[in-house]
């Protein structure tokens, strides 16, 4: 694929991911978190089944793959999405998207602690800058909140969601080698939805389902098809064509698009401090990603030599 066209598709993918924060915010007043996660994945599973039927290559699930799918399904999909939708009940789409931008930083930290991945001085500086941005986000710039420990419950849940997703990323990269990415994602979705069934029953869907408006179902379908399936496939093509480092840089657009959409669609108030904290976090993440980009270019030169 032409690089310029691929860049355009990656921008579009980040727009779809940003829209997931808006769609989630539109859904949570009507659909409880466990049921919302279940619906998002059941629709995504149906779409992915259709896509998998088009694949010529066959993937056979072996016994050694089961623990991997259990971890990615329970920690990455179940953990992240339940925490994500729970967070949206208490915080804004703007705050949640700003905190989600921390994912590359948290991934680097988890990789350092558990996968023995190195952190350079530049990456460490990026981590410190980003965490300052997070601190300003969850306190709304009022450092007195630290003394009183009165953090927004939703912001804390969103940060926990980011930790879950980062753990999923590090684990799938180190343990998921040899498993096609689309298969790893598909079986993670399946494990997640199976695990969600008892929690969905606990939320008594027969009580709230009749009151769910069509707009909420449309939001769920959006998250399933555009944010989950299309966004994921574009990302995988981009990783294959231009590499993971250059692909990751596009993720910095997500909080920017989310802020714009939250103001236009949800009419959330854009405070100057939120814009400032988003820029701080993006700057920190960009510092870390530039290090990865340099490393990938060095590797490419060595291979071509």
Amino acid 300: pLDDT: 46
pTM for this one? 0.83
C-alpha span between 36 and 288 (Å, rounded): 33
SS3 219: helix
C-alpha span between 155 and 87 (Å, rounded): 7
- C-alpha distances out from residue 58 to 53, 239, 265, Å: 10, 22, 43
Q: How many domains would you assign to the chain?
A: 1
CB atoms within 10 A of CB 19: 22
Amino acid 150: pLDDT: 57
The secondary structure of residue 63, as a DSSP letter, is G
Residue 107's closest CA among 238, 293, 288, 287? 288
pLDDT less than 70: residues of the chain:
1, 138-151, 239-240, 242-246, 248, 289, 291-305
By residue range, what is the domain housing residue 57?
A: 3-304
Residue 111's closest CA among 37, 180, 167? 167
User: With contact defined as beta carbons under 8 Å apart, do 252 and 101 qualify?
Assistant: yes
CB-based contacts of 40, cutoff 8 Å, min separation 6? 81, 220, 223, 224, 228
- What is the rounded (10 degree) CA torsion for 35, 26, 280, 297? 60
Amino acid 144: pLDDT: 62
Amino acid 283: pLDDT: 82
Amino acid 250: pLDDT: 77
CA 197 to chain centre: 22
């Amino acid at each position: 694929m032409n690089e310029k066209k691929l860049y355009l598709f990656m921008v579009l993918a980040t727009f779809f991911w940003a829209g997931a924060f808006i769609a989630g915010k539109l859904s949570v007043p009507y659909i409880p978190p466990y049921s919302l996660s279940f619906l998002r994945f059941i629709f995504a599973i149906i779409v992915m089944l259709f896509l998998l039927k088009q694949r010529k290559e066959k993937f056979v699930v072996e016994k050694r793959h089961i623990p991997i799918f259990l971890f990615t399904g329970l920690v990455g999909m179940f953990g992240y999405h339940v925490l994500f939708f729970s967070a949206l009940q208490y915080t804004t789409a703007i705050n949640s998207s700003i905190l989600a931008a921390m994912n590359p930083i948290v991934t680097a930290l988890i990789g350092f602690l558990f996968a023995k991945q190195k952190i350079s001085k530049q990456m460490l500086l990026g981590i410190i800058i980003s965490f300052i941005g997070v601190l300003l986000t969850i306190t709304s710039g009022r450092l007195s909140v630290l003394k009183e420990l009165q953090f927004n419950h939703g912001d804390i849940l969103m940060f926990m969601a980011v930790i879950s997703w980062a753990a999923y990323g590090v684990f799938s990269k180190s343990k998921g080698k040899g498993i096609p990415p689309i298969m790893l994602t598909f079986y993670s979705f399946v494990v997640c939805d199976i695990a969600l069934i008892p929690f969905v029953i606990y939320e008594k869907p027969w009580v709230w389902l009749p009151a769910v408006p069509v707009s909420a179902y449309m939001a769920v379908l959006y998250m399933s098809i555009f944010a989950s399936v299309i966004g994921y496939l574009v990302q995988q093509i981009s990783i294959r064509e231009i590499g993971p480092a250059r692909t990751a840089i596009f993720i910095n657009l997500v909080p920017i698009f989310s802020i714009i959409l939250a103001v236009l669609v949800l009419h959330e108030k854009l405070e100057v401090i939120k814009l400032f904290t988003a820029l701080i976090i993006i700057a920190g993440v960009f510092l870390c990603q530039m290090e990865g980009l340099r490393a990938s270019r060095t590797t490419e030169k060595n291979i071509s030599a």
